[in-house]
Chain A
Amino acid sequence: MSLALALLLFAAPAAAWWLLLPGLDPLGRLVAALAGAFAVLAGTAQVMLMADAWTPLHGVLAVLLLSAVLAALSRVHRPPGRPPRPDGPAAAEPAPPHAPATTRQDLPLPRRDKEEDEDWLFKD
């Protein structure tokens, strides 16, 4: 019983981190989600202890709230070019498996032409 509850308590932040990291491969995503769950749970307990506010019930609520916020972040801050998650049966179009994602190599190198910046001065 306790084991099941503990797993549930782990599952909430882990699921939130899982949603937050859609671009990773499944194994990496799982490990990152697990690490995130550990960080959220242990962090909550530590903050409660440091702040002299040790109430496990509030801690559980805080964990759930944090998980909800993280999950909400994953909805809000969607990478550009990726279609929103299909919500209803109407929107059940197959999403492209590899959305055009930005990696560091894809970032455009900004041009550093001094002349170009000051061109407007001389335009008539």
Chain B
Amino acid sequence: MTVRQEPDERARNAPRPPEAADRGTALAAAALLVFGTALFWTPLRHVDLDAINGYGLVSVLPVATFAGAAVIVLSFLLTLALPRPHRVLLVAQILVLIATLHGVAQALEPEARFPTAWQTAGFTEYIGRTHTVSWDLDARFSTPGFFAFVGFMLKAVGQNNISPLLKWAPPLTDLMYLVPYMLILRVLRATWRAKWFAAWLFIAANWVGQDYLSPQAFAYLLYLFFVAILVNWFRHHDETTQSAGRRRSPETAQRTGGMWRVYNWLFGPKDPGELPAPNATVRDRTILLCLLFLLILVGTAAHQLTPFLMTASCAGLVLVRRCSLRGLPFIAGVVYAAWVSFMTVGYWSSRKGELFGGLGNVFQNVQQSTGGRISQTSPQTADVQQLRIVIAVVVVGLAVLGLLRRRARGIDDRVALVLLLVPFSSFGLQNYGGEIALRIYFFMLPAACLLVAYLFFPAPFDAPPVRDPRVRMRLGWLRAGPRRHWPAVAAAAVFSLLLVAGFLTVRYGNEKYEQVRPSDVRAFDVMTQRTKGVIGVVWMSADNPDLVGGTPVMPWSYREFERFNYTPVIANRSDPADLSEIIQRLREQGPGGFFVTTRSHEDFQVLTAGLSTDFAPKMRAALAADPRIETVVSDRDAAVYRLRQPPAEPDPPVPRSSGLGLRSSPWTPAGLIYLPVLLGVLLARELRRLRLPPGGLWRLRPLTVLAIPLFLSVVAVIVERFVVIS
């Protein structure tokens, strides 16, 4: 293997940089960090959240806060410019960055932000109260693993109030992502600058907002753990990339010309982009393999998309010969398919067509996920959306450039390449309400941040600062010697400043309607207290929600999940005082009918559907003045109305919990026997593989022969279930 190694002896003998200057700069960076933090947080006390406009939180943040963010960024980059890593300082800077970027809205707002996060509270409360799930209430009950986990933890520690967890989950989750990410970075052949910059970027580029208390955030954490364990302890034993000997015979070495240069660049001898794998004993790897299997099981029960990406990333690593567990993708795939077939029957049996309608509709997905999200919106919100796309494209583009730069240096980053490409495989999988592009960006981030860091710091190791004094270089004082990192750090600083500015804009770009105010929560409390039975919530929508896929932008169903029904009323744009539709819908709800409107919800309709700004005040005034309608609660932020004399009918019973909705078919009992046996055989096969020496893989054949008929049987049962159950 022709791997360029760090020259140990020379590094040891190299004259160490003067410690005093080093320490002085480090202290300056620490002081800058403290100063920047103070500058960021101190002026936030006087922020007026009501003044937010369509650009989101940035429209009210004081200038000093932006300056503080810039100082925090520069302090980190100054630390990167030092000749050696100061770990404590770097860790402190990353912690401050998490608190700064992912905690600023949480610190400003009294309640947990983002209405969708509140449904996690609703599901958790439902499980804690009924001790089961109900597949027909919501599709997310088909993968209830995460809700069960949160409900169990809360109950076990005696915490009855989920709101603190709900509120502070984003910074906590981002912090936890870094733990496995650190392990992934550890095995890469890169300088400390590239690794720390990648970890820093992983926080700063994660504007997608999928880190709230939700199944996908948890499953993403499991995915990172899964990948970290794979690339650390299950790498291929024979990790040579194209060796020089085979392809570089004397005659091929003389081949020159454009095409051969491209050929050599693509297929010529390269160093692997990963360090030699840490050596682990067979026993440790056995235990780690069992842990991987557990992670697959838990992840499959927690989220519907992530196990697919676990399978795909493992398969990708196997294909590029960076993972020795060739059977693990099969195990993950079987677990995933079995879960979908056996446990989510209620979900797919009723919508077979819809589910496969999204399959393969790649072009439609692209359009819906990117362009489709910008329609009819106010110019300010559209600007924020455009900026989101720009940031995503720039990050991915720079990542590709970073990959090419490393390749030009003769380094073959296969792990990063696989992790970058694997998320695209989920594009054709499911429509996902047009959100799949965000998810793909989210899953690309670990690799993308790494490759962007490589673009600035591509060296495989820190070369000692020696140069031949006889050779004259232009700008030699910057390109060699102790300051040779400065140009790269300066370029990285420009990129980081832009990225953090972009982050603050787009992450909280919808804050005008994504914040949840205390009155919103109280509105739903009041409704549950006023009635005993089913609550029919009527809400106003500017467009037909069946077409735009809308839900009320409120903390809807954050508790007593099963009691709520939602009926939209399409706003009469020409006459806000026209209440006939609302009253009609309220009558249809029977005694539990309420009309709810909140300021966030109204702002959402104004910003994304082009409703006029005076529509909601006029509508509220008309509702308050109408003799047929009683105002239950009303303040500036939220209002609840109901009929003065609601009809007694219809009064439907509160739906009882229906469990997971499991269903059987003639072959199902056989499948329930084959499946564990198959998983046992496949797992035994992988465990056996760990115990075989590199040349002895033929000894797996008996287990393979055993697994094939079992696998075919399980596939047959899954197909039979899909055909029979409808």
Contact = CB atoms under 8 A, between A and B. Distances in A.
Nearest to B699: A110
Contacts of A32: 229, 288, 291
B592 interface: no
Contacts of A43: 294, 297-298
Nearest to B695: A109
B287 interface: yes
A59 B156 contact: yes
A60 B154 CA distance: 12
Contacts of B695: 109
Interface in A1-46: 2, 5-6, 9, 17, 20-25, 27-28, 31-32, 34-36, 38-46
Interface string B178-212: 01101100100000000000000000000000000
A123 interface: no
Interface residues of B, number: 58
Contact of A54 (B131, B218, B281): B131
Contact residues of A: prevailing secondary structure: helix
Nearest to A70: B287
Interface string B204-239: 000000000000001001100100110011000100
B284 to A, nearest CB: 4
Contacts of B281: 23, 79, 101-103
B694 A104 contact: yes
B132 A54 contact: yes
Contacts of A25: 278
Contacts of A41: 149, 152-153
B179 A34 contact: yes
Nearest to A59: B152
B679 interface: no
Given A42-B149, A46-B145, A108-B693, A9 B156 contact: yes
B649 to A, nearest CB: 35
Contacts of A21: 284, 287-288
A4 B301 CA distance: 27
Chain A interface bracket (under 10, 10 to 19, 20 to 34, 35 or more) = 35 or more
Contacts of B149: 41-42, 45-46
B152 A27 contact: no
Nearest to A99: B281
A77 B283 contact: yes
A107 B692 contact: yes
Contacts of B250: none
A123 to B, nearest CB: 28
B307 to A, nearest CB: 13
A31 B183 CA distance: 8
A17 B291 contact: yes
A48 B144 CA distance: 11
A52 B692 CA distance: 41
Contact of A42 (B180, B229, B282, B302): B302
A104 B237 contact: yes
A31 B148 contact: no
A4 to B, nearest CB: 8
A43 B416 CA distance: 30
Contact of A35 (B295, B659, B694): B295
Contacts of A20: 287
Contacts of B218: 42
A49 interface: yes
Nearest to A101: B281
Contacts of B257: none
Interface centre among B279, B283, B302 (most CB of A within 10 A): B283
Contacts of A27: 182-183, 186
A102 B127 CA distance: 46
Contact of B659 (A9, A39, A52, A108): A52
Interface string B148-173: 11011101111100000000000000
B690 interface: yes
A44 B152 contact: yes
Contacts of A9: 153, 156-157
Contacts of A92: none
Nearest to A63: B156
Contacts of B284: 21-24
Contact of A5 (B158, B225, B297, B659): B158
Contact of B298 (A42, A48, A60, A105): A42
A104 B285 CA distance: 10
Given A27-B186, A46-B301, 16 more contacts: A9-B157, A31-B179, A31-B183, A35-B180, A38-B225, A41-B149, A42-B302, A43-B297, A45-B152, A49-B145, A50-B301, A54-B132, A56-B156, A79-B281, A109-B695, A110-B696
Interface of B: 127, 131-133, 144-146, 148-149, 151-153, 155-159, 179-180, 182-183, 186, 218, 221-222, 225, 228-229, 232-233, 237, 278-285, 287-288, 291, 294-295, 297-298, 301-302, 343, 659-660, 690-696
List 9 A-B pairs, minimum CB-CB distance, nearest first: A54-B131, A45-B152, A5-B157, A56-B155, A35-B225, A2-B159, A45-B148, A101-B281, A39-B294
18 contacts: A5-B157, A5-B158, A22-B284, A24-B233, A27-B183, A27-B186, A31-B229, A35-B225, A35-B229, A39-B222, A41-B149, A42-B145, A42-B148, A52-B131, A52-B132, A54-B131, A79-B281, A102-B282
